[in-house]
Chain A
Amino acid sequence: MSDHREAVEHVGGTTLSFTYVWVSLLVLTGIEVFLAYEQLPTLIMLTALLGLSVIKAALIIAYFMHLKFEKFSLFLTLFPMLVLCILLMMIFMPDSIRALTMRVVQ
């Protein structure tokens, strides 16, 4: 085992797959810009835009940042904690809507 060297061959996407991801990201961006000009209620718009952004982020992390091809333990070490912390920050969000309705209209 001591003389064993890890294979240097890196598994990853191909040029074509990267181009597909890039095109998908551009299309998703186009959909976001289109949605911005639809007359949607603020909260629905926020949810839709955030949902699309999360998909875009996942594509970038999985393919461009190569995480799809890394050991699953790396993902488990990094991301559940990040998601949990972000969700904890969201605990304040309902207050923002409440503050709006409680404000005295002048």
Chain B
Amino acid sequence: MSEAEAVAVESVWQGGTSPYSIGSKKFGMWLFIISDALTFSALLMAYTYLRLSTPNWPKPFIFVPSIVFSSVMTFCLLSSSLTMVMAVHAMNHGNRSATVKWILATMVFGLGFVGLHLTEWLNLINNEHVTPFNNEWGVPLFGGTFFALTGLHMTHVIIGVIYLGIIAFAVGRGKFKYEDVEVSGLYWHFVDLVWMFIFPLVYLMSARL
């Protein structure tokens, strides 16, 4: 036995409990969430910086439809978080059919969010003439930052819906464990959490009185 092997065999650490008492999948998702949170923080920070330093920052969000739509979108995401929690809860009790139903409800709310968001985008593009590089108020940075921020968030929601679809399909076929559903739930709640900052900073701060 070589010296290195001897050290390995006599190693004090023998595996066993993980430091945080959670699985590696869950810890991996937490690390991803933290790094993604930093990405969104940087984008939100850039948006807020530009908003504060530009004197004539546009306020294109009228009550109907923009603020009403974005409020309903917030309701959709908050409710989807509740249904996702219920899915994780059901999976914890081993009830796979209820888990699939709750995940499907979450996906419906998620798709509702995307539908409303796209309608809201089209309203801005067609009625307020805001595009990523131009608008009527001569502040092209508004479109650039707005579409980048909300677009990245919407991409996360769409990916989340696909991710949940895969999880629901597999859970329905008797595959995957509790942890897999919980990890997908973590991702979904994070997407909801990011919106809790985008909604006030982007929409409410620029509501047209």
**Chain A interface (Cβ < 8 Å from any Cβ of B):** 1, 6, 10, 12-13, 15, 18-19, 22, 25-26, 29, 32-33, 35-37, 39, 42, 45-46, 49-50, 52-53, 56-57, 60-61, 63-66, 70-71, 73-74, 77-78, 81-82, 85-86, 89-90, 92-93, 95-97, 99-100, 103
Q: In the complex, which residues of chain B have a beta carbon less than 8 angstroms from the beta carbon of A82?
A: 34, 37-38
Q: In the complex, which residues of chain B have a beta carbon less than 8 angstroms from the beta carbon of A32?
A: 199-200, 204
| Complex contact A73–B200 (CB within 8 A) | no
| Complex contact B189–A65 (CB within 8 A) | yes
B186 at interface by CB-CB < 8 Å: yes
B113 at interface by CB-CB < 8 Å: no
| A56 and B17 contact, Cβ closer than 8 Å, known pairs A78-B34, A85-B38 | no
- Docked pose: A90 CA to B178 CA in angstroms: 39
| Complex contact B201–A49 (CB within 8 A) | yes
| Complex contact A96–B41 (CB within 8 A) | no
Smallest beta-carbon distance A67→chain B, Å: 9
Number of interface residues, chain B, beta carbon within 8 A: 52
**Chain B interface (Cβ < 8 Å from any Cβ of A):** 16-17, 19-22, 27, 30-31, 34, 37-38, 41-42, 45, 48-50, 52-55, 67, 71, 74-75, 78-79, 81-82, 84-86, 89, 92, 178, 182, 185-186, 189-190, 192-193, 196-197, 199-201, 204-205, 207, 209
| Complex contact B71–A49 (CB within 8 A) | no
Chain B contact residues: helix, strand, loop or mixed? helix
Which listed residue, A22, A46, A92, A100, touches B205 by the CB 8 Å rule? A46
- Docked pose: A52 CA to B205 CA in angstroms: 13
Which listed residue, B185, B186, B200, touches A52 by the CB 8 Å rule? B200
| Complex contact B52–A100 (CB within 8 A) | yes
| A64 and B189 contact, Cβ closer than 8 Å, known pairs A92-B45, A93-B52, A103-B55 | yes
Smallest beta-carbon distance B65→chain A, Å: 14
Smallest beta-carbon distance B106→chain A, Å: 12
- Docked pose: A57 CA to B199 CA in angstroms: 13
Which listed residue, A13, A60, A66, touches B193 by the CB 8 Å rule? A60
Can you list the 8 inter-chain pairs with the closest CB atoms, starting with the nearest?
A: A36-B204, A49-B200, A96-B53, A96-B52, A99-B53, A74-B20, A22-B82, A96-B49
- Docked pose: A9 CA to B74 CA in angstroms: 33
| A64 and B52 contact, Cβ closer than 8 Å, known pairs A12-B92, A81-B34 | no
